Each structure stands twice: as C-alpha cells, then as structure tokens.
C-alpha cells in the first residue's frame, strides 16, 4: 500500500481537494466549482460544508479536522462574506498543516459566476502541488477505520455487524485503530462495554455516556429506531443495540472520544456522539452521513457501513465499504454492496471467513481500489450544530 505523507506524520490513502462552503448561502457556488472537476482524472475534488450562519465550536472543530484529514491534499473555502464562521481561524489551521488553502468571498469577488470562475482557476493552479505529495508505504497499523450501521433490519445483528467486529479485531491485532459509535443505539450494552474498558474509570464513563444518551432521547420523545427498522423485522431498540454493539468486536476498549478527537494510540475506541449539556439541537444525528462525517473527522481513513435494508450512501473524503447483511438485499442491490455478509445465513460462508474478506477489502481500499460508492460517485456530506465538553483525563487512559 502506498499512501500520501502529511506534515504531521499521518498517511492518507486518498489525495482529495475539498471545496468547503462556510454557510448555506455559499453552497450552490461551492457545488458548481466542485462539479467542474467531476470527471477530471488528474484531480479529485469533493464538496463539504457547514450550513449554519451563527458560529459553533463543534462545527469549527470538525471543519478543521476534515480540512486537515490525511486523505485531504488541499482546501478551497467559499464564503458568502457576512456569515459568522471564523474563516480566518480555519484558513490558518489548514495553512499550518502545509496544505494549499484558498478563500473566495462571494460578496467581494462579485457574485456567483465570478466566484465559480475564480474557484476553478485556483484549484487548477494547485493541481501540481497536490499531486507532488510524497508517497510512502502504508501498513495496517497506520490505518483508522470507523464503523456504522444504517438501514438495519433483523439480519444486521446476525451477519454484517459481527462481520465488522471480526474485521475490527483483525485490524486492531495488526496495530491499527477502530472506532465504533452510536451511543444512542447501545442501550443495555453499557455494562458489557464497561467490562471491556481499559480501566474501571473508563468503564464508569461509558456507563454515564449511555445514560446521557437515554436521557437525551427520552427528552426528545423518541429513540434511534426508524420505521424502516421495524419493517425489516427489528422489534426494540435493545435488539438494535445488540447488533450495533457487535460491530465493536471483542478487543479491549482503549478510550472514549468525541467527534473530531483523534485517537492518540492504536486500539479500539468508543465515540460519544450525543451532545453534552441540555437538549438544544434536536436529534443528535439526523442521518447516517452525519455520523460518518464525525468518524472521518476523528481520522478514519475508511468507513465500514453495515446495512440490511440497503443503503446507497457514500461520503466525501474517505471511502465507504458497504457490508450487506441480507442476502436478498445483496442480490437486489449488488452494484452498491462491497461485501455479501448475508451469505452466512445461507451457509455459503462463515463469520470468520467473511470477516477476513472484509479485512482484506479494507487493505485493498487503502491500496487505491475504489469501493462501490466511490465508483458510483457518492460523496454525501452533512454537518449540523452540536455542543460537547472537552474530554476528561479518564477518557484516554492510554495517555497516562
């Protein structure tokens, strides 16, 4: 595997340029700039952005992490001009990382057409610089994976999710890093996770983290359980939680992180995705892609996405590997699915065999092979408002 060496020592498996809008009013202009490069073989340009007009510490932290992600080689910021996002702070963070960074302010550049033209010219000017990044060897221990399930049905917890757990174990054993999340879908599993925690203090924090999520959803009057889950045969949030938990595999939990926190050492980490403090911003993650963005912001090179009903989404910045839980769904949607985990139900493979296949798929993706969602052009992205407190010292015992 050959990757892209960044100034902070991290290695990327992709080398994309992001076009980042800093308010919804700049979304169209940023999208048009991105579309200009849609079929250019010499440069890979992805669209990301934050739609809000008033500032948010969480959103700023996530945008900094994304624009300096190891899979990113440069960034163009697109501002309307009167929004409250701190574009100077974001530009400085990108510049300090050694990446080329540009800024177009629509109100100053002269409107839509002129800003699109200026943005296209800027990206074309940095193509040689982006492509000249040093190439280095990438080993499994360099990789971070993020795991998520979406469009779940009754087969998800039986096949795809435990397959992801198998692959997670293999990567951690090889010196890599795995992140699992969805604390709003782990109700009833908190004591099991606490028993796997690196320290008793971390175990207690995990229990409190899940209790926070339960309180959040109780206040909102619903949980992370969609109508499609019930139609697919799931009966309770506890049943869904058991499936979500199986994505974590069996290795010790090294620490707890929050979105855009980078794991400080190899191992398995739980990500707390439910905001701290009072319920302020509604449903914590309004779609699967919101969680994918948070996993990428925490350094994930690759996302493992399990689905039973069938989900077609991919993501900007990091490739998404689809692990299909239901054999009928796989046969119906094979163009969108990378791994047929549902064959376990039909005695066409064992959990260990499919887990190994997924692990090998992680490595081939890191080596440059496109996933189904990449080949189909999926680059979904969503970022909303949240609030988090800083991590306490007991969250990362590996730093002691």
Domains in the chain, start-ordered, CATH in brackets?
Answer: 2-136 (3.40.50.2300), 140-399 (no CATH)
Q: CB atoms < 10 A from the CB of 347, how many?
A: 7
Q: At what angle do helices 27-36 and 112-131 cross, to 10 degrees?
A: 50
Q: CB atoms < 10 A from the CB of 196, how many?
A: 18
In this predicted structure, what is the pLDDT of residue 240?
67
Instruction: Enter the tokens of residue 230.
Output: 């019930």
For residues 183 and 272, the answer to whether their CB atoms sit within 8 Å is: yes
In this predicted structure, what is the pLDDT of residue 151?
79
Instruction: Enter the tokens of residue 385.
Output: 């408002």
3-state secondary structure string across 77-94: EEECCCCCCCHHHHHHHH
Q: Say which DSSP state 197 is in.
A: B
Under the phi-then-psi rule, with left for phi > 0, alpha for psi from -120 to 50, and beta for the rest, what region is 277? Answer: left
pTM (2 decimals)? 0.96
Q: CB atoms < 10 A from the CB of 116, how many?
A: 22
- How many Cα neighbours within 13 Å face the side chain of 82? 2
In this predicted structure, what is the pLDDT of residue 224?
67
77-99 burial string, b = 16+ CB within 10 Å, else e?
A: bbbbeebebebeebbebbeebeb
The C-alpha angle 117, 121, 124, rounded to 5 degrees, equals: 140
In this predicted structure, what is the pLDDT of residue 285?
83
In this predicted structure, what is the pLDDT of residue 336?
98
The C-alpha angle 222, 316, 377, rounded to 5 degrees, equals: 105
Collapsing DSSP states into helix, strand and coil, what is residue 303? Answer: strand
Q: Phi, psi (5° rounding) for residue 16?
A: -90, 155
In this predicted structure, what is the pLDDT of residue 150?
84
Q: Using CA atoms, how far apart are residues 78 and 62, in angstroms rounded to an integer?
A: 16
In this predicted structure, what is the pLDDT of residue 313?
96
In this predicted structure, what is the pLDDT of residue 98?
96
Collapsing DSSP states into helix, strand and coil, what is residue 342? Answer: helix
Q: Using CA atoms, how far apart are residues 273 and 267, in angstroms rounded to an integer?
A: 19
Instruction: Name, in order, each residue with C-beta under 8 angstroms of 92's C-beta and a sequence gap of 6 or more.
Output: none
- How many Cα neighbours within 13 Å face the side chain of 301? 28
The rounded average pLDDT for each run of 10 residues, N- to C-terminus, in the chain (400 residues) is 96 98 98 95 96 96 98 98 97 98 98 98 97 97 95 87 97 98 88 96 96 91 68 67 87 98 98 93 88 98 96 97 96 98 97 98 98 97 96 91
In this predicted structure, what is the pLDDT of residue 241?
67
């Amino acid at each position: 595997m050959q990757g892209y060496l960044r100034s902070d020592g991290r290695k990327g498996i992709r080398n994309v340029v992001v076009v980042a809008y800093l308010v919804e009013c700049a979304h169209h202009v940023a999208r048009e700039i991105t579309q200009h490069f849609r079929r250019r073989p010499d440069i890979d340009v992805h669209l990301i952005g934050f739609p809000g007009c008033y500032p948010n510490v969480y959103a700023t932290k996530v945008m900094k992490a994304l624009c300096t992600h190891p899979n990113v080689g440069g960034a163009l910021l697109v501002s309307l001009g009167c929004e409250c996002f701190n574009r100077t702070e974001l530009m400085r963070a990108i510049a300090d990382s050694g990446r080329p960074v540009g800024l177009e302010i629509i109100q100053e550049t002269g409107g839509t057409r002129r800003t699109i033209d200026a943005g296209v010219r800027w990206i074309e000017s940095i193509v040689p610089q982006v492509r000249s990044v040093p190439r280095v060897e990438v080993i499994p221990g360099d990789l971070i994976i993020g795991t998520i399930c979406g469009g779940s049905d009754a087969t998800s917890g039986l096949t795809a999710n435990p397959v992801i757990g198998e692959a997670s174990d293999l990567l951690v054993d090889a010196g890599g890093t795995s992140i699992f999340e969805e604390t709003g879908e782990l109700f009833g599993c908190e004591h099991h996770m606490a028993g796997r925690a690196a320290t008793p203090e971390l175990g207690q924090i995990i229990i409190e983290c899940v209790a926070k999520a339960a309180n959040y959803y109780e206040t909102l009057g619903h949980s992370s359980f969609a109508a499609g889950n019930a139609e697919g045969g799931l009966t309770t949030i506890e049943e869904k939680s058991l499936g979500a938990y199986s994505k974590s595999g069996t290795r010790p939990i090294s620490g707890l992180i929050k979105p855009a926190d980078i794991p400080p050492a190899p191992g398995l980490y739980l990500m707390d995705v439910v905001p701290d403090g009072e319920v302020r911003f509604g449903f914590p993650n309004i779609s699967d892609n919101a969680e994918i963005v948070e996993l990428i912001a925490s350094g994930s090179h690759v996302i493992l996405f399990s689905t039973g009903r069938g989900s077609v989404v991919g993501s900007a910045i990091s490739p998404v590997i689809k692990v299909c839980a239901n054999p009928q769904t796989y046969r119906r949607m094979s163009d969108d699915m990378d791994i047929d985990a549902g064959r376990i139900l039909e005695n066409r493979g064992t959990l260990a065999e499919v887990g190994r296949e997924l692990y090998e798929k992680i490595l081939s993706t890191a080596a440059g092979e496109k996933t189904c969602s990449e080949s189909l052009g999926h680059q979904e992205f969503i970022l909303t408002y949240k609030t988090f407190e800083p991590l306490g010292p007991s969250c990362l015992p590996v730093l002691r």
